[in-house]
Amino acid sequence: MSPRDMARRVAHDIPDGSYVNLGIGLPTSVADVVPPDREIVYHSENGILGMGPAPASGTEDPELINAGKQPVTLLPGGAYFHHTDAFVMMRGGHLDITVLGAFQVSARGDLANWATDEASMPPAVGGAMDLAVGARRILVMTTHTTRDGRPKIVASCTYPLTAARVVHRIYTDLAVLDVEPDGLVVREMAPGLTAAQLREVTAAELRFGDDVAILQPA
């Protein structure tokens, strides 16, 4: 699935009326594909509530950006404020859902998304730790493997943890997986992908639901 298709699949699972934070990277695209029948209030840790989709080319406001320094829009009723207040919202349990990217996710829901062993990618935790433990539900949106084919879904994280046992559901370009008390359960798979092929690119034990659906954009 393409990144935009992944974003649509994530957006499909966000209930109407939710307060949601989108992490830097792939998750930011979720705000661009909100189903038309839903009102979702997007929060940005640099101080925005009511964030809208990316602006049309040529209409960008350099003073209205998200936490990843990307230009965004403000929906009617939206507001911007000091980032300290934004962190109070994150730490105070006021967010229903956080969608985060990941370098690794373990079979028990541990999240590693701020540091790797690559010198070209300096550590940058930002507000990830606050988001990972402050929201009621944590969704991860990531590619299933790294660019060189290494699995991101692992039995145990080898990178420094952002937070332990926090992830509820994982969305990748190959599958949708739930993190349950006894491990990972595959709920959806990309068209044409077999269970054996998915296991080959996953470094954690997988169980398959009784009615695994075909993963497709919502």
CB 204 within 8 A of CB 106: yes
Handedness of CA 100, 105, 109, 111 (dihedral sign): negative
- Residue 205 among the catalytic residues: no
Return the closest-CA partner of residue 32 out of 48, 11, 61, 14.
Answer: 11
Which one of the listed residues 45, 60, 180, 205 is annotated catalytic?
Answer: 45
CB 203 within 8 A of CB 155: yes
Alpha-carbon distance 157 to 170, whole Å? 15
Alpha-carbon distance 140 to 105, whole Å? 8
SS3 content of the chain, % helix, strand, coil (to 5): 20, 30, 50
Residues designated catalytic: 45
